[in-house]
Amino acid sequence: MTANRSLKYTLLVLLIVLTATGCNQQAPEQKAASPTAETSGATTATDAVQNLVRRYNKLLIDGYQTNNMTNLQQVATQELAQKAYYHMAAIGEGKSRMVSQLKKIDFLKTDFGTPGKCRIVTRELWDFGYADIATGKISNQVKDYLYDVQYLLEIRQGHWMITEITASGEERKEVPSWGKMFGNK
């Protein structure tokens, strides 16, 4: 085979491979999730990011219960984990720890409008209260508290990470003030 003919053949094979690869690309919504996303069997990008939000909430609940927010850094930025830590520490100064249960989470919107970024909007139903660290006695319990939450996620070092969270909750009389929670009435 001549060098010219060999070059043409190589270019043709390369063109076929590139065309076939390009045609198999799917929208982010349909693409299989990366196994590094730790998504418990997620098959789409939507499943992956929604499972990450579920995992964040589980780690948050565990963090308040154990007074250790370190594991949040598995799914969220260090800055978000520090915010949770400071909140947990403030509650601990009042000799309490938060106990909570996520009863329901509805994913209202999952938007991949920008490559490498995602915005998720949820409506979450929580029960929470404050347990005295010494006695375990629970006080200031709130049942069925409804939050609307927006999570912003980005791909960082090959993994989806929660980078920002904005939450708003309904106004209810039984939600304790900081003064009441810390015994200052």
Q: Is 139 domain-assigned?
A: yes
Domain count, the chain: 1
How far is Cα 106 from Cα 125, in angstroms, rounded to an integer?
9
Q: Is 128 domain-assigned?
A: yes
Three-class DSSP category at 157: coil
Q: What is the largest CA-CA distance in the chain?
A: 92
pLDDT digits (tens, 9 = 90+) for 78-128: 999 999 989 988 888 888 889 999 999 999 999 999 999 999 999 999 999
Examine the pLDDT at 136 and tell me if it is beyond 80.
Answer: yes
Domain that holds residue 122: 42-180
Closest CA to 99 of 58, 131, 71: 131
Examine the pLDDT at 130 and tell me if it is beyond 80.
Answer: yes
- Please report the pLDDT score of residue 41 as a whole number: 52
Q: Is 21 domain-assigned?
A: no
- The CA radius of gyration of the chain, in Å to the nearest whole number, is 23
Q: Is 14 domain-assigned?
A: no
Q: Is 49 domain-assigned?
A: yes
Q: Is 140 domain-assigned?
A: yes
pTM: 0.71
User: Once rounded to an integer, what is the mean pLDDT over residues 163-168?
Assistant: 94
**What is the share, in percent, of the chain residues with pLDDT greater than 70?**
69
Q: Is 4 domain-assigned?
A: no
Q: Is 26 domain-assigned?
A: no
Top-ranked range on mean pLDDT: pick from 30-39, 49-58, 165-174: 49-58
CATH assignment at residue 141: 3.10.450.240
pLDDT digits (tens, 9 = 90+) for 145-160: 999 999 999 999 999 9
